[in-house]
């Protein structure tokens, strides 16, 4: 599931090449890049790396533009930056963020690339669970819920975009997942509403989910790239006393082949 590489000014191209090769292997889903300290301008470095890794998606969002439906900025990067003036936005709060996919409401969203400027907090790890681990756990913990998640279409909407997709889809020997509790459409029937509550409750409380979730703490200069639709990710809560004490930038990239529309 997780591949960790050391990255520096001098080996970036080789690391990109290696990452693109490993990307083809379905068992590799999270790529962590650990900086060696020689990166002078972290933002410029990862901007350049993002372009080498894949096709960049101008899917940036900006909380200062308004509510959740009008936050598309037309920019590449979104800031994930602790700022207590936005307590209700996960990108800016210090709360634990439940497991989700970033592309829940975006068609053909492939992967997320995120780099760290600062993270001098207690907690704040990014967490991941493999879609296969969810399937394995659900098959014994709640097969009925698994059956519903693999058969019911679910609509997610935000920022003027909508995506209709089953929460769990098997394709080419892999399990794809599309889920964000906070972006599920408000226009659902009673059965769908129950399914949404039940799955979120399961994710928050299942011992199997907890046991199979891995945590990655990024340090300044580090980055992570992950297959958004083949795992769920989230964040541990953290303690912070000043603005930008945890400060990351993230963007959407097209590295591999995303799950097609309405599969």
- Given a contact cutoff of 8 angstroms between Cβ atoms, the answer to whether 256 and 103 are in contact is no
Nearer Cβ to Fe ion (100/166): 100
Nearer Cβ to Fe ion (57/148): 57
| Sign of the alpha-carbon dihedral angle for 25, 10, 124, 217 | positive
Dihedral, 10, 12, 15, 20 alpha carbons, nearest 10 = -150
Nearer Cβ to Fe ion (61/137): 61
Nearer Cβ to Fe ion (102/222): 102
Q: Which of 245, 256, 223 is nearest to 114 (CA)?
A: 223
Distance of closest approach, residue 178 Cβ to Fe ion, in angstroms = 13
Q: Which of 21, 15, 66, 4 is nearest to 39 (CA)?
A: 15
Please count the CA atoms within 13 angstroms of the CA of 140 that sit on its side-chain side.
7
Give residue number: closest CB to Fe ion.
102
Give the β-pairing of 126-130 and 214-216: antiparallel
Angle at alpha carbon of residue 103, lines to 101 and 105, rounded to 5°? 110
Phi, psi angle pair for 207, to nearest 5°: -60, -35
Strand partners, 35: 7
Nearer Cβ to Fe ion (127/135): 127
CA distance 78 to 251: 6
CA distance 63 to 70: 9
Distance of closest approach, residue 82 Cβ to Fe ion, in angstroms = 15
Contacting positions for Fe ion (CB under 5 A):
102
Distance of closest approach, residue 91 Cβ to Fe ion, in angstroms = 8
Distance of closest approach, residue 100 Cβ to Fe ion, in angstroms = 6
Distance of closest approach, residue 126 Cβ to Fe ion, in angstroms = 8
Distance of closest approach, residue 122 Cβ to Fe ion, in angstroms = 21
Nearer Cβ to Fe ion (111/168): 111
Distance of closest approach, residue 109 Cβ to Fe ion, in angstroms = 11
Q: Which of 40, 39, 56 is nearest to 225 (CA)?
A: 56
Nearer Cβ to Fe ion (83/102): 102
């Amino acid at each position: 599931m997780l591949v960790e590489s050391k990255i520096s000014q001098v080996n970036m191209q080789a690391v990109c090449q290696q990452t693109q090769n490993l990307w083809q292997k379905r068992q590799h889903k999270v790529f962590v890049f650990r900086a060696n300290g020689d990166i002078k301008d972290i933002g410029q470095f990862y901007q350049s790396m993002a372009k080498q890794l894949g096709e960049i998606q101008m899917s940036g969002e900006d909380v200062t533009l308004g509510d959740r439906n009008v936050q598309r900025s037309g920019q590449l990067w979104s800031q994930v930056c602790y700022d207590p003036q936005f307590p209700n936005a996960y990108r800016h709060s210090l709360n634990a963020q439940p497991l989700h996919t970033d592309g829940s409401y975006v068609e053909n969203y492939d992967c997320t690339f995120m780099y760290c400027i600062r993270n001098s907090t207690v907690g704040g790890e990014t967490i991941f669970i493999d879609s296969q681990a969810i399937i394995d756990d659900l098959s014994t913990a709640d097969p009925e819920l698994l059956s519903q998640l693999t058969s019911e279409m679910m609509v997610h909407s935000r920022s003027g975009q909508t995506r209709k997709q089953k929460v769990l889809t098997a394709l080419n020997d892999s399990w794809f997942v599309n889920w964000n509790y906070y972006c599920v459409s408000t226009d659902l029937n009673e059965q769908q509403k129950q399914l949404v509550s039940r799955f979120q409750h399961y994710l928050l409380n299942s011992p199997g989910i907890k046991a199979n979730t891995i945590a990655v703490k990024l340090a300044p200069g580090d980055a992570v790239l992950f297959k958004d639709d083949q795992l769920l990710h989230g964040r541990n809560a953290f303690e912070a006393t000043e603005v930008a004490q945890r400060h990351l930038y993230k963007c959407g990239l097209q590295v591999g082949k995303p799950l097609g529309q309405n599969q």
